[in-house]
Amino acid sequence: EGRGTALELLADADVFVTNVRPGALQRLGLDYESVSSHNPRLVYGLITGYGETGPDADRAAYDIAAYWSRAGVAHLLTRPGDTPPFQRGGMGDHSAGMTLAAAICAGLVARARTGTGQLVSTSLYRQGAYTVSFDINTYLLTGLPIAVGQRETMGNPCMNNYTARDGRRFWIVGLEADRHWPPLCRAVGRPEWLDDRRYSDARARAVDGA
């Protein structure tokens, strides 16, 4: 009876959004193939934990597992010798939700042009991989992992975090080392650093530390 009511509601719906596991959707008869046969114009938005195929496709998932842990986000933020940090609430959920919202919008645009709906999907695991895509792409290109950033070993003193006198930390964001080094020296009252050979260029500052 409930399934009949659901299909009645979906018969003229524009969008259906679900994060129920694929196997459960099939058992309920609310998977994409079943629903779209009643409403070919439907844009069906699906969020899963680990994707629609593969050995983990039907596993339950929270973002701290699929996004934060298994996708490697926590590992890539862990300093050597430290324990992994805990994520803030819903980080993977929020970004995956925004990704699906964008996919649904694209599906609606496509339907306006073609008259046909479609399945659009993302997963917490995929969202985690996207979050660390800089590391993944660098490794695929070079075969080398990127070291975990530590303020003590950053080569550009204009792009780092520091402690203020009141104990609060702040970031300086001077991406262009040679351009931003002179104003930083003047701002902190150390104009003599500009003539110090140890800090004469970006390479020297990276080696000796400023």
Average pLDDT, the chain: 93
Angle at 132 between CA 18 and CA 55, to 5 degrees: 50
Per-residue pLDDT, 204: 83
Amino acid (1-letter code) at residue 192: E
Q: Give me the mean pLDDT over the 90-115 stretch.
A: 97
- Active-site annotation holder among 93, 135, 196, 208: 93
> What per-residue confidence (pLDDT) applies to 8?
94
- Full DSSP string of 35-89: HHTT-TT-EEEEEESS-SSSTTTT----HIIIIIIITSHHHHTPPTTSPPPPPPT
Q: Give the chain's radius of gyration (CA, Å).
A: 25
Residue 203 has pLDDT above 90, yes or no: no
| Residue 208, pLDDT above cutoff 70 | no
Q: Which of 64-68, 166-170, 198-202 has the lowest mean pLDDT?
A: 198-202
pLDDT of residue 209: 52
How many CB atoms lie under 10 A from the CB of residue 80? Answer: 7
For residue 159, report the phi and psi dihedrals to the nearest 5 degrees: -130, 75
pLDDT at 150: 82
Q: Is the pTM higher than 0.95? A: no
Q: Give pLDDT, residue 190.
A: 93
The reply to whether 195 belongs to the active site is no
Interval 74-95: pLDDT, tens? 999 998 899 999 999 999 999 9
Give the pLDDT confidence score for residue 210 in this predicted structure: 47
Q: What angle do CA 102, 105, 109 make, to 5 degrees?
A: 140
Which region among 1-10, 131-140, 142-151, 182-191 has the lowest average model confidence (pLDDT)? Answer: 142-151
Average pLDDT (44-48) is: 98
Phi, psi of 76 (to 5 degrees): -75, -10
Is the CB of residue 71 less than 8 Å from the CB of residue 95? Answer: no
| pLDDT of the residue at 72 | 94
Looking at per-residue pLDDT, the higher value among 103 and 204 belongs to 103
Strand pairing of 169-173 and 159-163?
antiparallel
